[in-house]
Amino acid sequence: MIIIESYSIAVVMCFITMLCWGSWANTQKLASKEWRFQLFYWDYAVGVLLLAVFMALTMGNMGTAGRGFFADLGQASITYIGYAMLGGIIFNLSNILLVAAIDIAGMAVAFPLGCGLSLILGTVTNYIGKPEGNPLVLFLGVLAVVVAAVLDAVAYGKLPSQGQKTTTKGILISLAAGALMGFFYRFVMKSMEMDFANCTPGKLSPYTATVFFSLGLFLSNFVWNSWVMIMPFVGEPVPFGDYFTKGNVKLHAVGILGGVIWSLGTTFNIVAAPSASPAIAFGLGYGGIMVAALWGVFIWKEFKDAPAGTNKLLALMFACFIIGLGLIAASRPA
The Cα–Cα gap between 180 and 191 comes to 18
pLDDT of 114 > 90? The answer is no
Average pLDDT over residues 27-34: 85
Domain borders along the chain are: 7-330
When pLDDT is averaged across residues 97-121 and rounded to a whole number, the result is 79
Which residues make Cβ contacts (< 8 Å) with residue 209, sequence separation at least 6?
80, 84, 188, 191, 192, 270
Give me the chain's average pLDDT, please. Answer: 90
Pair 93, 155: CB distance under 8 Å: no
Query: Mean of the pLDDT values across residues 44-58?
Result: 97
Euclidean distance between CA atoms 185 and 86, whole angstroms: 10
Of residues 204 and 25, the one with the higher pLDDT is 204
What's the predicted TM-score (pTM) here? Answer: 0.90
Q: What is the pLDDT of residue 234?
A: 81
The 10s digit of each residue's pLDDT in 217-271 is: 999 999 999 999 999 988 899 999 999 999 999 999 999 999 999 999 999 999 9
Measured distance CA(332)–CA(311) in Å, rounded? 33
Q: Which residue has the higher pLDDT, 292 or 43?
A: 43
- In 3D space, the residue among 178, 164, 174 whose CA is nearest the CA of residue 101 turns out to be 174
Dihedral Cα 6, 181, 128, 261, nearest 10 deg: 0
Quick one: the chain helix, strand, coil %, rounded to 5? 75, 0, 20
- Supply the pLDDT for residue 334: 62
Q: Left, alpha or beta for 71 (phi > 0: left; psi -120 to 50: alpha)?
A: alpha
Task: Collapse the DSSP code of 192 into the 3-class scheme (helix H, G, I; strand E, B; otherwise coil) and give the result.
Answer: strand
Q: Which residue has the higher pLDDT, 185 or 66?
A: 185
The residue among 226, 216, 211, 187 whose CA lies nearest residue 96 is 226
Beta strands in the chain (DSSP E): none
pLDDT score at 50: 98
Residue 161's pLDDT is 57
Q: Which residues contact 138 (CB under 8 A, 6 or more apart)?
A: 123, 127, 279, 280, 283, 327, 328, 331, 332
Q: Is the pLDDT of residue 98 over 90?
A: no
pLDDT band (50, 70, 90) for residue 199: confident
pLDDT of 165 above 60: no
Residue 290 CB contacts under 8 Å (≥ 6 apart), including other chains: 18, 22, 148, 318, 321, 322, 325
> What pLDDT does 163 receive?
47
What one-letter code names the amino acid at 76?
A
Confidence of residue 107 (pLDDT cuts 50, 70, 90): low
Give yes or no for a contact between 59 and 211, defined as CB atoms under 8 angstroms apart. Answer: no
pLDDT band per the 50, 70, 90 thresholds, residue 162:
very low
Position 134, amino acid: N
* Angstrom distance (rounded) from CA 130 to CA 278: 7
Tell me if 23 sits within 8 A of 261, measured CB to CB. Answer: yes
